[in-house]
Amino acid sequence: MSLYAYSGPVRDALLSWKLGNQEAGLAWLAQAAAPRLRELFQPGDLLLPVPMPLSRMRKSAMHHAAELCRCIAATTGADWDWRLLRRQGDQPRQSVLSGRERQRNLRGAFALDQRLIDPSAIKGRLWVVDDIHTTGATLRFAARALKPLGRDVHAFAMARAVERG
């Protein structure tokens, strides 16, 4: 599930947020989508951001998917936790890879830290959250890591890449 097409002003807003640390872009998109976000996410839902490699988080000083979860939670009353889903290894950036390479790049890249969660404590739906959906590889492999919880996992991205014609 995504709310926006990753093009035009939406693309500009997300890039200014991701590359320029300008939170106004994310705030604008979240404010415009607030009614739809409240339809999708309920209090008690648990949002888990797709983890990014520690080296990139240090470089950018921001965990984009976690910031998106924080924003959605503030709007909807859902819960979120950045610690449960972990990144293993330091894979190349997905944005520089082809679709097939993206699939191979993320095999085994995510793991659930089961020490930090009691599955019975999850009251609502379980969501994996990312900023941009391109091929779906990131969300798919992150969701697979949550299988031990024995719950359906939903996927959400703020925007979805559009095919170039």
pLDDT tens, 109-135?
889 988 888 787 888 999 999 999 988
**pLDDT for res 44:** 94
**CATH code: domain of residue 21:** 3.40.50
3-state SS, one letter per residue, for the chain: CEEEEECHHHHHHHHHHHHHCCHHHHHHHHHHHHHHHHHHCCCCCEEEECCCCHHHHHHHCCCHHHHHHHHHHHHHCCEECCCCEEECCCCCCHHHCCHHHHHHHCCCCEEECHHHCCHHHCCCCEEEEEEEECCCHHHHHHHHHCHHHCCCEEEEEEEEECCCC
Which structural domain, as residue segments, surrounds residue 25?
2-161
Supply the pTM of this predicted model.
0.86
pLDDT the model gives residue 21: 79
pLDDT at residue 165 is higher than 60: no
Query: Total domain count for the chain?
Result: 1
pLDDT of the residue at 22: 83
